[in-house]
Structure 1
Amino acid sequence: MALLKEMVRTVDLLDDLAEQVQRDGLMQPGPGLSRRVHPAVVEARQARIALARLSASLRLPAGDEGDQQQDARRPQRRSGARGAYGIKGAV
């Protein structure tokens, strides 16, 4: 339940960040005459990565509803913390 709450918070954060970028514009003044990407864009990217990881940890299906029927037949991969890059000789 805690992961689901965190997903909702992350989606709310993404909505707030999108509003900031919409209001302020994609580019911000940087040092001198330079321009840089709005910091909310960078934060939104990180929040989307966190949202994807939360979704994966809850084993939520990805994609459209039509894709779910096809994915239902595919077994889920379960790898350890090290995955394919485990310690040599330990396995």
Structure 2
Amino acid sequence: MAHLNVAAGQSTAPVTPVPDGLDESGTRLWEAVAGPFELDVHEQLILLQACRTADLLDRLARRAEGAELTVFNAKGEQVTAPWITEHRQQSLVLARLLASLRMPSGEEDERPQRRGAARGSYGVRSVAS
């Protein structure tokens, strides 16, 4: 199997071993990404965080299984259960981490997504008199 550099593509490299401490989803994600792609150190760190987030999502999903979707807070108000809110937030984190890896879409001729830097501050628009 050829290994591709996520950012530049085309160079061959050994497979990076699965880090210790990952559960099933994290291990599967690591193998799916680090297996076919050569990752720079910063990309490995992003992937590791994505794998840990995937494992956390599994734990939160298990916690939510069969549980009520709402709980009563200290004021006695019925609110969304904290594990549901955290699951939603971690899902967003996972999506952003994976997007930041700029993985190719699957077609070999296609280049990885190119994302510009964060937008700068917005300037003041001039007002015509």
Please indicate the TM-score interval, normalised by the length of the shorter structure: 0.5 to 0.7
Say which of 79, 84, 89 aligns to 2:116. 79
TM-score (normalizing by structure 2): 0.50
- Secondary structure (helix, strand or coil) at the match of 2:65 reads helix
Q: Equivalents in 1 of 2:100, 2:63: separation in Å? A: 29
- Of Structure 1 and Structure 2, the greater helix share is in 1
How many corresponding residue pairs?
Answer: 79
Q: Quick check: 2:102–2:112 contact (8 Å CA) kept in 1?
A: no
Aligned to 2:53: 10
| Range that drifts further, 4-13 or 17-26 | 17-26
- The residue identity in structure 1 corresponding to 2:93 is A
1:86 to 1:16, Cα distance in 2 relative to 1, 3 A? same
Q: Equivalents in 1 of 2:112, 2:52: separation in Å? A: 30
The offset of 1:21, in angstroms, is 1.1
- Alignment gaps of 5+ in structure 2: 1-43, 125-129
- The residue identity in structure 1 corresponding to 2:117 is G
Structure scoring higher RCO (CA < 8 A, sep ≥ 6) equals: 1
1:6-85 equivalences in 2 (<5 Å): 6-30=49-73, 31-32=75-76, 34-61=77-104, 68-69=106-107, 73=110, 76-82=113-119
Q: Equivalents in 2 of 1:59, 1:17: separation in Å? A: 26
Rg (Cα) greater in structure: 2
Deviations 1:13-41 (A, max 9, x none): 10111111114321223443x42211011
Q: Percent identity?
A: 39
C-alpha RMSD of the superposition: 2.6
